[in-house]
Amino acid sequence: MSRDLVLEHITYVNGRTLLDDVCVTFPAGRVTALSGPSGSGKTTLLSIAGGLLEPTSGTAALAGQEMWTGSGDPLPEVAFVLQVYGLVPILSARENVSIALRARGIAPADADEAAEAALARFGIADLGERQVEELSGGQMQRVACARGFVVGAEVLLADEPTSELDEGNRGVVLAELREEAARGAVVVVATHDPAVVEACDLHIALDEGRVVR
Ligand SMILES: Nc1ncnc2c1ncn2[C@@H]1O[C@H](COP(=O)(O)OP(=O)(O)O)[C@@H](O)[C@H]1O
Ligand SMILES: [Mg+2]
């Protein structure tokens, strides 16, 4: 049984209408690109899909379970790669990844070991000890990817995860997104990069808060 993430009639109004009657299914085992110009509502839609934000109307649900839990705390099934990275500047790269696992109850030594492996997936194993605030934008983005991917979540929502990366590292992140889908995860990647869209299985496009394809 596939556990798809289903959004039905999602509307989000915050002064003005940012999302207007969005109906989409993000299937398990596939990488879905969510494209659209800046300001079209991609981040808002991912936030609702992952349970960070309550829709004004409509529902987002994983196999019938509502993503909005009433508090803005996402379900444990969900992992994010946030557009502004959401890293803790004074912690090391390894600690930033490790805390995602510790927060899920993994013992610190095991979490640290998995964090090292996740950094290696993105080619930054050598940066584990470095404080995040000393890293470049592209390096921080890869730490954020490692943190999102390390938990092996059922739903992985990545918000423009390759915007600061060169072509080689973009390819690494795309390959890892595909790997997550291959183990059955729902994977959604917001992007306005046509090369990223091309590498995904499915494509949903937003414009001014509406689905246009
Ligand atoms: N908290 C907020 N309050 C009011 N407007 C917002 C808020 N967050 C985002 N917006 C606006 O909502 C629109 C959609 O934003 P966003 O979802 O971030 O788009 P995208 O990720 O596609 O660039 C933009 O016009 C943005 O300025
Ligand atoms: Mg955005």
pLDDT score, position 1: 55
What count of residues does the chain have? 213
Residue 32 near ligand 1, beta carbon < 6 Å:
no
| Tens-place pLDDT, residues 147-160 | 999 999 999 999 99
Across the beta sheet with 65-66, what order do the strands follow?
Answer: 16-26, 5-14, 57-62, 65-66
| Tens-place pLDDT, residues 37-51 | 999 999 999 999 999
Residue 74 near ligand 1, beta carbon < 6 Å:
no
Retrieve residue 136's tokens.
Answer: 């470049």
How far away, in angstroms, is 34 Cα from ligand 1 center? Answer: 15
Residue 44 near ligand 1, beta carbon < 6 Å:
yes
The reported pTM is 0.95
* Mean pLDDT of the region 181-199: 96
How far away, in angstroms, is 41 Cα from ligand 2 center? Answer: 7
From the CA of 159, the nearest ligand is 2
How far away, in angstroms, is 209 Cα from ligand 1 center? Answer: 10
User: What are the percentages of helix, strand and coil residues in the chain, rounded to 5?
Assistant: 35, 30, 40
Q: Which atom of ligand 1 is nearest to the CA of 40?
A: 22
